[in-house]
Amino acid sequence: MSPGLPDPQAVMELTPAQVSGLLPAIRRGEIELIDCREDDEWRFNRIEGARLVPLTRFAEFAVPEKPVILYCHHGMRSLRAAGYWKSRGLDEVWSMSGGIDRWSAEVDPSVPVY
């Protein structure tokens, strides 16, 4: 398991503050940050370093081979997406609770809300 990440069997969600603390590992490519919103939402705002994989297209993508943190608008789609990848064998996957809205409120107010 990657340093700084909780046991994925015990914790399915991370707070935006926890994800913010993991940004150096995300930038180094040790953890993948995936935005599971749709293209129009991605164009409006995003977290730097994230990759877009819309939930509606998850079946088209291979299960990542590194730890993954998912986020969406409010945290519901990313929680579903985390469960989907867990069911396909990805053990180290978490959802960011509250989504990008909570990120904007608690970590980076420069990220616009909608």
Distance of CA 55 to the CA centre of its chain: 12
- The pLDDT score that the predictor gives to residue 2 is 60
CATH architecture of 13-106: 3-Layer(aba) Sandwich (3.40)
Query: In degrees rounded to 5, what are phi and psi of residue 105?
Result: -75, -35
Active site residues: 72
pLDDT tens for residues 38-58? 999 999 999 999 999 999 998
Q: What is the pLDDT of residue 88?
A: 86
Amino acid at 22: L
pLDDT (tens digit, 9 = 90+) per residue, 75-107? 999 999 999 889 888 889 999 999 999 999 999
* CA angle, 102 then 112 then 23, to 5°: 55
User: Do 82 and 12 form a contact (C-beta atoms < 8 A)?
Assistant: yes
Chain length of the chain: 114
**Predicted TM-score (pTM) of this structure:** 0.90
